Amino acid sequence: MAEQKTISNERLISLIKAFKEEKTDENWNKVLGEIVMNAQFLMPARLNPHAAPPGAGDLAEMQAGAQLQFIMITTTDNQRFFLAFTDINELRKWQVVENQQVVLMNFDSYASLILKDENIAGFVINPFGENLALNRKVVQHLKTRKEILLKGHAQQVVKKDTPVTLRKPDPYPAEMAEAVAAHMKKDKAVQAAFLMEMQREGMESYLCVVDFQGDKDKVFEGIAGAAKPFLKGKYLDLVALDSAFGKKAAEKAEPFYEKKKKKFGLF
């Protein structure tokens, strides 16, 4: 395997070392922040012999539709994890398999693969070195945190069998609700919205169910921007009213915003 292109994750390795020496929440959050926002990893994969060959060098950028079979490691309790190596030296500790290629990955790439396949338990960083495993629950949580950091909100897909508790927010975030309602009044796409507090898999957040027409990303980003100054560290999840979860969530709730319909007539 050629070695014309390599990566290094010196900061991540240093942060993991600091965490193992002093296991504090602060040190752990620094590790997770580096993994989510900055780190890149080497991931071994088998290349489909019928696929087009990669370009020069030993790293293939992962692209949609690439015909690669990602190699996994199986634990003693039969859980399967993707591999994530921080540098070429850690990669060399892994056995080379036939038709092996190396794919350049980041956190978003791993999250996309893991969260769409329930048979994948997560990914492990340097299994023969630091041996740091992140399971799918942690990956989902980190993905949500990253979305909120970058966009101000997360768009949630809640599975049918996921236990969820919904209730009226207590205390009620009046300032946030007023700011969001004022924004919605200016947005012709939004017809109504419901505000609740949601608890799911140990995470608590505000849930805003939105009845709207048009571009979802544009609508949600506008709402998130209006809410952000008033969140006080709490997450805001946004779902569409026309989704199965949105319909169910709004069944027993009253809208905190509803667009007034114009009346037409002579008087």
If you ran DSSP here, which 8-state letter would residue 187 be given? -
HEC profile of 44-59: EEEECCCCCCCCCCCE
The candidate with the shortest Cα–Cα distance to 220, out of 182, 253, 180, 250, is: 180
In a domain, 198, yes or no: yes
Last residue of a domain, one of 148, 169, 187: 148
Distance CA 112, CA 127 (A): 21
Based on the fold, state whether residues 60 and 134 are members of the same structural domain: yes
Last residue of a domain, one of 98, 125, 148: 148
- For 96, 119, 120, 236, the CA distances from 71, given in Å and listed in that order, are 11, 14, 12, 36
178: tokens are: 């007023």
Based on the fold, state whether residues 232 and 179 are members of the same structural domain: yes
Average pLDDT over the chain reads 84
Last residue of a domain, one of 90, 119, 148: 148
What confidence tens digit (pLDDT) does each residue in 173-232 have? 999 999 999 999 999 999 999 999 998 766 778 999 999 999 998 999 899 899 989 988
Based on the fold, state whether residues 171 and 91 are members of the same structural domain: no
Based on the fold, state whether residues 125 and 159 are members of the same structural domain: no
pTM comes to 0.59
Based on the fold, state whether residues 114 and 186 are members of the same structural domain: no
For residue 28, give its domain range: 10-148
Based on the fold, state whether residues 126 and 35 are members of the same structural domain: yes
Q: Are 182 and 226 in contact (CB under 8 A)?
A: yes
CB atoms within 10 A of CB 126: 23
More confident residue, 149 or 236: 236
What total number of domains does the chain contain? 2
pLDDT at 155: 60
If you ran DSSP here, which 8-state letter would residue 85 be given? B
The candidate with the shortest Cα–Cα distance to 158, out of 254, 219, 247, is: 247
